[in-house]
Structure formats: C-alpha cells, structure tokens
C-alpha cells in the first residue's frame, strides 16, 4: 500500500467515523435515558436526508440552512416517537424497540408515497471539487462532515455539562429515581433525549444526503452500524459511542479497502456479537442491559 492509499484510507475513515458518531450519539442518548431503544433510528437519519432533498433540491434553500433546519424538524419526529411509543411502553425495552420498528415502517411508507419509492434521489452537492492532500483526494462535501461532527459533539458536551437541562438529563441517565426525587421530570427528560436523538440523526442524514443514494430504505444499514457502535461503546455512554464510532469507522474503511464492504459489515456485526457476549456492558460501558 502506497502512502497516498494510506492517507486516503485515513481520510475516509475520519469522515466515516464522523458520520457514525453523529448517528450513534443520538442512539446512545436515547438509550441512556430510560432505555429507549429506537429500532428506527435509521429512519430518522433518512428523514434528515429528505429534509435536504425537499428544502435544498426542491425548494432551492441554501444547503447549510437546510442542514440546520434538519435538526429541529427531525427532532420533532423524535419527540413524536417518545410520546407515542416510548412513553407508553416505558419499563419494557423490548416492547419499545419492537413498536419503534412499526414506526419505521410508517415513516418509510410516508416518505415513499410522497416522493417515490424506487427512484434514488440524487442531490447535487453545493460544494463541488475537493482537496488534494499528499496524493489523496477528498471532496469538500465529505470534508465538511468532520468539522460539523466536532461542532455538534462539542455542543452536546457543553449542553450536558454546563446547561441546567443537560445536567438534569445526565442525572436522569445515571439514576432516574434519584433524579425524580430531586424534582426532575422524567417525562421532560425522555422528551428532551428523543429531541436530541432525532436532531443528531437528522443532521447526520442531511450532511450525507449529497453523497449517498437517498431512498426511503437507506436508513437500515446506518441503524445496524449505529447499534454496533452503541453496543461496543457501552450502550448509554456518549463518550463510548464517539470513540467506538471512530474505531468502527477505521475498521470498516480498512476492511472495505482491503476486501469489500460486505466483509466490512460482517466484521462489524461479529465484533458486536463478541462484545455483547463477552462483556454485555460494552467495552466502555457501565449500564447493564
């Protein structure tokens, strides 16, 4: 392998790790608070891509505005999930998980009926061209994802450690009963968690929209990967999810470069199964599932 291939691989891995982190962090937040396991996290990602498709491609808004708007829009879908699915099934992880699969079906159908099922939506990138670093090339669109993730994750970290609502969310994730005794409303916290969860998935999908084929069924592979990451990272641990996202990003990119992407997925799910079986709390985890 030449130097340029290595650099290219590293760059690809960083980009992929960033996308993974954005998607997985959302999943981890939701799971951290009252164990909301969202089977349809991938459909939230898909919704983010469609926000860009509609606002940017169809309505001609600026791309970055569409990406930013994806946060509140998909966050509202997340909130709807919380109200209609996770709150009524609270205390039964499996029931919430299965019911959210039903919600995924519904989202897929709604999007498919509105904007077409079979057709892939190709979305023009607003940032044509790319950078050349030591013989490796990377498009601006991809390059954008890395700083975006850094900003989002830093923002999240600030929110969770400095802002009152964020601190309450963390307290609730650590010990719900104690949090309730301190006067924190559990319902507000699960709602907030799903807002954030949806928002992160939405922005992830929005940023990726010009790079990947946009279809109603595009979410599945991202959901699988997000679950792999979150489980490896320790289910409810946000730091764990970020670290695991980049580890997985590297593993996937390297295996995909050396072999193919099917093999890379196989390695990923096998890794996840092994972690679950040997250490059900995850590599960096503290929450027992």
Partner 1 sequence: MSKSSFSTHLLVSSLVVIAFFVMAPNLVSAYRLELLTIFLINVILAQSYRLMATTGDWTLCHYILMGVGAYATGILAKMAGLPFYLVMPMACVVTMIVSLLFAIPLSRTLGFAFFIASFALGEFVRHVWLKFHYPFGGARGINGIPKLEIGQGGEWYFIDFWDSRNFYYFTLVFTILTLVILFRIDRSRLGDTWKSIYTDRELSESIGIDVTKSRIMVFCVSGFFAGLAGSLLAYQIGSIDPHNFGMVEMVYLIIWCVVGGVKTFWGPLIGVLSMSIIFELTRPLAEWRPALFGLILILFLVLLPGGLETLPARIRELLHRTGTQRGTG
Q: Applying CB under 8 A, which residues contact partner 1?
A: 35, 37, 84-85, 88-89, 92-99, 101-106, 108-110, 112-113, 117, 220, 224, 227-228, 231, 260, 262-263, 265-266, 269-270, 272-273, 276-278, 280, 289
Residue number, 116 or 147, with CB nearest to partner 1: 116
Is the Cβ–Cβ distance between 34 and 171 less than 8 Å?
A: no
Sign of the alpha-carbon torsion through 5, 220, 212, 68 = negative
Residue number, 167 or 220, with CB nearest to partner 1: 220
Count CA atoms closer than 13 A to 67's CA, side-chain side: 19
Residue number, 67 or 226, with CB nearest to partner 1: 226
Residue number, 58 or 262, with CB nearest to partner 1: 262
Residue 249: its H or E element? helix 238-258
Is the Cβ–Cβ distance between 122 and 218 less than 8 Å?
A: no
Residue number, 210 or 216, with CB nearest to partner 1: 216
Give the separation between CA 57 and CA 54, rounded to whole angstroms: 6
Tell the smallest beta-carbon distance from residue 101 to partner 1 (Å).
Answer: 5
Tell the smallest beta-carbon distance from residue 252 to partner 1 (Å).
Answer: 13
Tell the smallest beta-carbon distance from residue 238 to partner 1 (Å).
Answer: 19
Tell the smallest beta-carbon distance from residue 253 to partner 1 (Å).
Answer: 17
Tell the smallest beta-carbon distance from residue 23 to partner 1 (Å).
Answer: 16
109, 84, 113, 114: which is closest to 99 by C-alpha? 84
Residue in this structure with the two tokens 């608070």, named with its chain if needed: 33
Question: What is the number of residues in the chain?
Answer: 289
Tell the smallest beta-carbon distance from residue 177 to partner 1 (Å).
Answer: 20
Residue number, 152 or 256, with CB nearest to partner 1: 256
State how far Cα 23 lies from the chain centre: 1
Distance spanning both ends of the chain, measured CA to CA: 42
Residue number, 182 or 263, with CB nearest to partner 1: 263
Give the separation between CA 262 and CA 266, rounded to whole angstroms: 6
Tell the smallest beta-carbon distance from residue 166 to partner 1 (Å).
Answer: 26
Three-state secondary structure of 181-216: HCCCCHHHHHHHHHHHHHHHHHHHHHHHCCCCCECC
């Amino acid at each position: 392998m030449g130097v340029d291939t290595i650099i290219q691989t590293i760059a690809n891995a960083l980009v992929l790790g960033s996308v993974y982190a954005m998607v997985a962090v959302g999943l981890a937040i939701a799971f951290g608070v009252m164990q909301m396991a969202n089977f349809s996290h991938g459909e939230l990602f898909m919704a983010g891509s469609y926000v860009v498709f509609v606002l940017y491609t169809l309505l001609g808004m600026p791309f970055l505005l569409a990406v930013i708007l994806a946060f509140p829009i998909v966050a509202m879908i997340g909130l709807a999930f919380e109200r209609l699915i996770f709150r009524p099934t609270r205390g039964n992880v499996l029931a919430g998980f299965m019911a959210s699969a039903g919600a995924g079906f519904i989202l897929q159908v709604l999007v498919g009926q509105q904007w077409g099922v079979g057709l892939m939506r190709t979305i023009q990138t607003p940032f044509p061209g790319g950078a050349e670093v030591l013989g490796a090339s990377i498009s601006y669109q991809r390059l954008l994802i890395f700083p975006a993730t850094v900003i989002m994750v830093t923002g999240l970290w600030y929110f969770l450690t400095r802002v009152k609502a964020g601190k309450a969310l963390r307290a609730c994730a650590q010990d719900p009963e104690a949090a309730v005794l301190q006067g924190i409303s559990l319902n507000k916290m699960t709602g907030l968690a799903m807002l954030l969860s949806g928002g992160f998935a939405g922005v992830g999908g929005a940023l990726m929209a010009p790079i990947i084929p946009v279809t109603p069924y595009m979410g599945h592979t991202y959901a699988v990967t997000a679950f792999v990451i979150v489980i490896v990272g320790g289910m409810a641990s946000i730091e764990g999810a970020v670290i695991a996202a980049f580890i997985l990003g590297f593993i996937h990119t390297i295996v995909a470069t050396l072999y193919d992407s099917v093999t890379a997925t196989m390695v990923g799910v096998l890794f996840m199964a092994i972690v679950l079986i040997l250490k059900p709390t995850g590599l960096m985890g503290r929450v027992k599932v």
